Structure 1
Amino acid sequence: MSETIPVDVVVQLLRAVPAGPDADPAAVLADSALSEEDAARIGYEIRRLHATSGRWRRRGQELAALFSSARELAQLRDVDELLGRLVERAHDLMGTDVTYLSEFDVRTQELRVRTTLGTTAPSFLGLRVPPGMGLASQVVEGRRPSWTSRYTVMTEAPHDSGIDAAVEAEGLVSLLGVPLLAEDEVLGVLFAANRVEHAFAPEEISLLSAFADHAAVVLQTARLLARAQDSTAEAQHAYQELARHVEAMERASEVHTDLTNLVLQGGGSHDVATALGRALRCRVELLDPDGLDGAVGEAADRSRRSGRCVRVRDRTHVVAVLAGNSLLGALLLWEGEVEFGPVELRTAERAAQITALLQLKQDAMAEAEQRVHGDLLADLLADSPYRRTDLAVRARARDIRLDELRSVVVVAVPAELRREALRSLRRAGGLVGEHAGHVVAFTAEADPAAASTRIHAMAGRVARVPLLAVGAHLAEAIDDARDQVGTATACLRVLPSLGLADAAVTTDEYLPYTALFGPGETRVTAFVQRVIGRVLDWDAQHAGTLLPTLAAYLNNRMSPVATARELHLHKNTVLQRLDRVTELLGKGWQGPDELFRVTVAVRLAQVGRPR
């Protein structure tokens, strides 16, 4: 340039640089002596300088916003909140329509859209990108930014139908993705997308990449802190579990010590429930097999099959008490201040095993005691005086004083229930055993009626079926025990014929029947046969109607009408049957003396017939 430019013109040109594209360098140079070509060159350089200045100014603003966002993100510790704020800041920096972050799963190699901003389709959040598919996988595999100005025609990465459908539903056209890298680990991909075709400038790619680098560091730090917190929480939880386990083991040791002492000191099965409840700080109940019903029964059955403690309902457990395949009962536990864990449940199971052992021991002792009582009772009721020579001494060894026994009660108990009835009655004291198919109990009760009532009630609670019990008084000497048992047994045999099925009586109340059906039973049979034998023989060969008709006739004061009403027969039918009786017994059978003997014989025949 040969011409010179005045200083004022140069100053004006320099002032035009920051003025922007609105400034006109030609107007400033109009009064100068420059050629058009030189003026054009100066104008071009001024505009280029202005563009460069604007680019650096914008770059400075972006970097300022970038560092400001990084500082803000660095203050966050919650990962979910951090991801949301990260996408929000990227959205503000880029000014795109949609911004979202896909998290990378190292295990499955999938990407899942974790956080979005600007989306409208609900299906986009949570979208999964299979390995090797789409623009996101290209970013992960290459660990560098990838972009497309028009997604539908993109050929650099394979398409997936699910991803394409989600992109189409959201209306996205141009996408830019940059990796979130922590050292060499890919944490995810940050996307900026538009709903119009757009060619991403290098400055945009550089800006989003720089932001992603800062964000990755912050995200990795937040994750490490979260893991550290989780590890601390896990360590604290493990410590608490260890402390609880140690405490549970101490309780189990306490139960083991208590149960061992119970076994050595001869404790019972109920003592086990007490010791278990004290150690586990809970309520424990020992249930009999008969008490296992409803939900408790179902749980006990499951425990019986598995051998384990089973939950009945919330905070209630049951464990079966087993001896082989036999169910002896169950322990029912209600949780108290101690929450049941594996150690507590195993402790309950071991307690159930100890309970079974103690019950078997008690049963064995009861069986042995029952055999001893049975032998004493057999010797007491034997014909041979030799078997009773040292009976009093042997009974005293079992804490039984024969000279204090004042009553005997004979009870008719079904065979399958006899064992439990004997065990229950033995707790009442005295001498109890089995004789001639009945349960016999000698007691110190002076009143046979009171003794019969008490023994009947005790046996009934165990048997839970109707029972007959007959009591008899013993003299001061025990020598008449055999006779009194025989008399009570005879009375017991007569009671069902009198319509009794569940009662407690004494031999004195039914003395006429016991006298007749005692030792002189053969003479009674001969008497009945001699008086009404022909009627009995007729009934045996025919329908068996004469004896019931004759008994009803005598009970109704010899009234045919009342007899017919009781038997639900026509009067003529009753008269025909009475005519048959007259043929068999003779016309004088209704005379005073004959009628008395017939009445007694009919009553005895009815009593002696099985029902």
Structure 2
Amino acid sequence: MMDRTFLDLLYADAPREAYDDLLAQLGADAADQHALALQVRERLARHRGREAEMSALYDTANDLTAIRDLDTILAAIVRRARQLLHADMTYLSLNDEADGASYMKVTDGALTPEFRRLRLPLGTGLLGLVAQSGEPYFTEDYQADSRFVHRDFIDSAVAGEKIRAILGVPLVVEGRVIGALLAVHRTVRPFPPGEVTLLTSFAAHAAVALENARLFDQAREAVVSADLANELLRARSESVERAAQSHDRLTDVLLDGGGATGIADVLAEVLGGRVSVYDEGLRPLAGAGDQPAGLATAIEQARRTGRSVEVTPGTYVAVAAAGDEPLGTLVVRGAPLEQAERRTLERGAIVTALVLLFARTEAEAEERVRGELLTDLVAARDADLDRLRERARRQGAALDRPSVVAVAHLDGLDLHRAARTAGQLAGERHGLAAVHDGHVVVLAPGEDARELGEVLRARTSDALTTVGVAGPASGPGAVAATYREARRCVDTLRTLGRSGEVSDPAGLGVTRLLLGTSGPDDLADFVDRVLGPLLRWDAERGGSLVATLEAWFAAGGSLRGTGEVLHVHANTVGQRLERVGRLLGEDWRQPNRALDLQMALRVHRMRGQERS
């Protein structure tokens, strides 16, 4: 057993416990190898998961190109969804609008015949709510969830199947909800966002299958009517065939890693126009970068209806989305599109969504690795500077150049979304970004810390962002101290009530050392306790006792110097200081009292600057 290595465990796909046991045998010197082996094991598991997702989606897409038996296709979709989500059961229902109910069309993993024949009134149970509202819903424990309308016959069928956790997404065709696709577990468990997105993608494929089946039915009915209908059938068949061929080519782009550019090239050739692809922020990914007029309105309409939208004659817009989350936008210019061609554009949007979703997953994995490196730097967890430099080099970051640190506290923006924004900024500057201790941290080469902080605040403009900055730091060993300095700055800004600002240590002075852990209420109490009588006197009588006291300290206790600053006679200064003594007590000049007064005056002035 002592001859085994972590590489042997990776090759054998050993469980986590085996790695811990081997670490215990090898001792603390093998801790780095143990951590690296676990990272590789996790990455291999993610790759296997992505390969399974790609394979299932590829098989489903291929089935759609040769669709003849709708029930067979739907059964395959439900079966593959169950396998990929590791669910105990999956099922698909279709709505009967005349009856006001949704009935089981196909199931995989059902235990009882009663469940396969179940019909739920729209709005009842989780399935009925999804089928009625067109919104995804999930519950960790259906039996105990009071959000849903429970009926005895539904709860009895659910109990017969021993169902606990349920995830349901709608089937939408032509902007109309026609049913739902659900995955269940017979144990209580949550559903992570990735599973919701994946089941939504399978629901989109099921909707394509149903739409194609409807088109084939219409074509068959047209054959019976007349010779004109025969011509229509041939044209429709050719259109469907072209659509199938284009879907094959788009699927090839997906599997070959062609990305947005490959999709744009295929659609441009098939549709005979110019195709542009934009990301969720409308930054160009492929094709022309100029945006047509009215694009934002068209995107909103396309998101709402789930179909392509004609902006101007010959210009069409389709949204690439995973569930309710928009991932990108496709724009086709220069050619009028028939309905079948518009469906091809919409299917291209589905493939684009998958490409962007997989790209995001890969990017998030890279961000996690880069974030772990930055966390080790700011927390000073790894004292081996050469190893830190090598890790940074592999991530494209430069640690030997002077670097600055920005620490941001955000109100009103999801931390994961902010981390993606910070990661993009760090990537542009060959730096690192991470979420650490509830804050977003960016380390980037440079010497202007305030400029980095201002850019980070601007990039997160839809949140109230307070940023502390420090640096430059020289080498990886100085990053931790620079981070602590920037963190004290952001804590001091928030303590002073100056949220939404950017500051470095020079901009805060000694207050950052004294106020970094105090709260705004504590500061208000301190100022009121020390200066309260003077503040109230000035407010009630329009006096200048606070200003006089501040000027007197600044003048080193000189009456004449104070008078010159305030443009009053020295005798007037003396009279005001006598009033200060009567309000505060005659010992206000003693060193301890004087220090408190000067600190209170400093805090009062800085809080006043923020309010002004």
Give the TM-score band, short-chain normalised: 0.3 to 0.5
Give me the TM-score of the superposition, normalised by structure 1. 0.46
Larger radius of gyration: 1
